[in-house]
């Protein structure tokens, strides 16, 4: 399960980076918001939600959850353990929330620039949050 979560994360990052760059280009070049842009945003939303489900499944069978429930004080004192047991899961959930908000907000917009702007802001925040709490030393 851990390997699936790790490998799927590469896919999420690639697609999320692509979606944010696509939205920035669309916004700055005043492009029309097409079906291609819609599909990129939707695919990013779906892939990130699948990653969330995989991550939650892994988290509840991981040693980090057991350690957190048995000795939360020790978890909070150790920076590396706190990252994996607390910071990573909470930040990733928040990132997915921002991505979901971005998807929901873009649907209510009627102007192309506003749709791209929703993706730039909310998908961008999601990307920054994800990049900030990836356990890089365990991942690469």
Q: Is the pLDDT of residue 63 over 90?
A: no
Boundaries of every domain in the chain: 2-139
Q: Is the pLDDT of residue 139 over 70?
A: no
Q: For residues 44 and 140, which has the higher predicted lDDT (pLDDT)?
A: 44
Q: What is the mean pLDDT of the chain?
A: 93
> Mean pLDDT over residues 83-88, rounded?
91
Q: Is 31 helix (H, G, I), strand (E, B) or coil?
A: coil
Angle at which helices 35-61 and 88-108 cross, to 10°: 160
Q: Which two tokens stand for residue 78?
A: 């150790």
Confidence band for 13, pLDDT divided at 50, 70 and 90: very high
Residues of the chain above pLDDT 70, percent = 99
What pLDDT, on a 0 to 100 scale, did the predictor assign at position 140?
60
Chain segment 49-58, per-residue pLDDT in tens: 999 999 999 9
Q: Which two tokens stand for residue 85?
A: 């047991």
Long-range contacts formed by 111-114: CB under 8 A, 24+ apart: 112/26, 112/30, 112/31, 112/32, 112/33, 113/27, 113/30
> Mean pLDDT over residues 90-95, rounded?
97
> Mean pLDDT over residues 27-37, rounded?
97
Question: Which whole-number Å values give the CA distances from 19 to 13, 43, 77, 121, in the listed order?
Answer: 10, 9, 37, 11
| String of DSSP letters for 103-126 | HHHHHH--SHHHHHHHIIIIIHHH
Q: Is the pLDDT of residue 7 over 80?
A: yes
Identify the helix (H) or strand (E) that includes residue 61: helix 35-61
> Mean pLDDT over residues 44-68, rounded?
92
> Mean pLDDT over residues 42-53, rounded?
97
């Amino acid at each position: 399960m851990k390997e699936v979560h790790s490998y799927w994360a590469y896919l999420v990052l690639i697609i999320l980076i692509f979606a944010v760059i696509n939205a920035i280009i669309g916004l700055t070049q005043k492009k029309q918001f097409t079906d291609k842009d819609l599909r990129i945003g939707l695919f990013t939303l779906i892939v990130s939600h699948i990653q969330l489900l995989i991550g939650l499944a892994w988290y509840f069978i991981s040693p980090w959850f057991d350690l957190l429930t048995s000795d939360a004080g020790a978890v909070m004192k150790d920076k590396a353990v706190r990252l994996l047991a607390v910071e990573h899961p909470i930040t990733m959930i928040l990132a997915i929330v921002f991505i979901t908000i971005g998807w929901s907000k873009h649907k209510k917009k009627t102007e192309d620039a506003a749709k791209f702007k929703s993706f730039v802001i909310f998908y961008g925040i999601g990307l920054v949050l994800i990049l900030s709490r990836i356990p890089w030393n365990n991942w690469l």
